[in-house]
Structure 1
Amino acid sequence: MDIEKNKERFISLFETYIKRRNSEHLLNYIINKSDFFTAPASTRYHGAYEGGLCEHSLQVYDCLKDYLSRPRVKEIYELDVSEETIAIIALLHDLCKCNVYKTDTKNKKINGAWQQVPYYVFEDPFPYGHGEKSVFMIQHYIPLTAAEAMAIRYHMGFSSTESDSQVGQAFNKYPLAFALSTADMEATYFLENIQKHEENNDE
């Protein structure tokens, strides 16, 4: 993984497609006031490494683009989504993960000897939830449509803390929410496993 390359691609996609009022202020926050490009995506699950958050966001973008390009999605599901909306909901769905991961050390036995190794801990100074916090943070800078807000809010799908019926209602009313959740799961459960497999084969 190349952190700088991912940063450059993220900024390029943002500047190319996101033209909404005050979007430049949102990008300035991401670049200059957050750790978005170096933060992990989690403490020990997917993307639990430096730069994991940006990399995961780009993977979700690629997966969502692919999902929405399918003929049946356009023709049967009638999902015709603008490039700006795709970029907003995919690149920013996990904005809530900025500035919440800290590094600490713990003892771990390696080759029979105890050593101190670094690990991530989660410390949220503004515990406002997950998807809803991303919506809150984005809307501090730019307006969102109802479909965009619901997609980001429910991108965790049925693995979130909401009831299944609530998630189902969101997906039924806003197919874009289902599309983003599908892309998020594909990036989390498939792309990262493929990446790990390739890295292990290179060793």
Structure 2
Amino acid sequence: MKTIGKDGILLRLAKDMYPEKDDLSSIEVKTLFNDICHKYIQREGIYDLLSWLEGTDFYRAPASTRYHGDYEGGLCDHSLHVYFCFRSYVKKRCEPGYHLSMSEESIALCALFHDLCKVDIYKTEMRNKKNAQGQWEQVPFYTIEDAFPVGHGSKSVYIMNRYLKLTDIETAAIAYHMGFSYGDDARTVGNVFSRFPEAFALSTADMEATYFVENEHWPR
């Protein structure tokens, strides 16, 4: 696993549970994810959702094929990164600055499960690649095989609604967490962000996690 933030709020929050560690094992990452769920989410159906998650590849899957979190366990890592970014953004910027308030439960539900659409869609194949010595060798790489391609955020909402009831705000935030980058009509996205600024906040946290926390080119 790649570390949950090398400095700032991310590592400090993770270190509340693991104060002596600079990194977390895959087992500890899974424990952290579930501990946050158990601490903050009391919604009826959450245990059914977590039970379903156990039967999927959520804790092993990458977050993408070749961009952020493109390694085993990257999806769970990314979900935690977004959670820490989202919680910090809401509590430290949105609440005091814009009087936008979200419960700890809603923050956790939106952030930790925003990418459920990626569960069980990644497959591993092999390809030839030159190593450091210039010799060809077989290396694994991820491909996508989605048996239920019904969108991105909307698919996450669909999966969650099998097990628990989301509020309108949570639905909007998860469905449009990709913001303007997914290909949805810009006017529609703008209308959603205007009516549900929580959706903009989650989109911002997702981008922060992707382009700051998980960016291998940053800091320069």
TM-score, length basis structure 2: 0.85
Unaligned 5+ runs, structure 2: 2-24
1:81 to 102, 123, 145: 102
Q: After TM superposition, what 4+ stretches of structure 1 lie above 3 angstroms from structure 2?
A: none
Answer whether contact 2:123 2:144 (CA < 8 A) is retained: yes
CA distance in 2, matches of 1:4, 1:119: 23
Cα separation, partners in 2 of 1:168 and 1:197, compared to 1, 3 Å: closer
Q: 1:31-59, CA deviations, whole angstroms, 9 ceiling, x for partnerless residues?
A: 2x111001000001110000000000000
Q: Which residue of 2 aligns with 1:47?
A: 69
Given candidates 134, 138, 150, the residue that maps to 1:112 is 134
**Equivalent position amino acid for 2:34 in 1:** I
Distance 1:41 1:35 in 2: 11
Residues 68 and 215, structure 2, Cα contact 8 Å, conserved in 1: no
1:21 maps to which of 44, 50, 55? 44
CA deviation vs aligned residue, 1:11-31 (integer Å, no higher than 9, x gap):
101111111111110010112
Picking from 130, 139, 159, the partner of 2:152 is: 130
What SS class does the counterpart of residue 132 from structure 1 fall into?
Answer: helix
Q: Which amino acid is 2:139 matched to?
A: V
Question: What amino acid does structure 1 have at the position aligned with 2:40?
Answer: Y
Match of residue 193, structure 2, among 154, 171, 194? 171
Aligned with 2:116 (options 88, 92, 95):
95
Change (3 A) 1:75 1:112: closer
More helix per residue: 1
Displacement of 1:75 in angstroms is 4.1
Query: Residues of 2 paired with 1:56 and 1:147: CA distance?
Result: 22
Aligned length: 195
* SS of structure 1 residue aligned to 2:108: helix
Query: Separation in 2 of the partners of 1:197 and 1:80?
Result: 31
RMSD: 1.4
Distance 2:206 2:101 in 1: 19
* C-alpha distance in structure 2 between counterparts of 1:170 and 1:94, whole Å: 19
> Normalization by structure 1: what TM-score?
0.92
* In 2, Cα distance between equivalents of 1:126 and 1:74: 37
What is the alpha-carbon distance in structure 1 between the residues aligned to residue 89 and residue 97 of structure 2? 13
The CA distance in 2 between the partners of 1:39 and 1:74, in whole Å, is: 33
2:177 and 2:106 mapped to 1: Cα distance?
Answer: 14
Q: State the distance in 2 between where 1:3 and 1:46 align.
A: 17
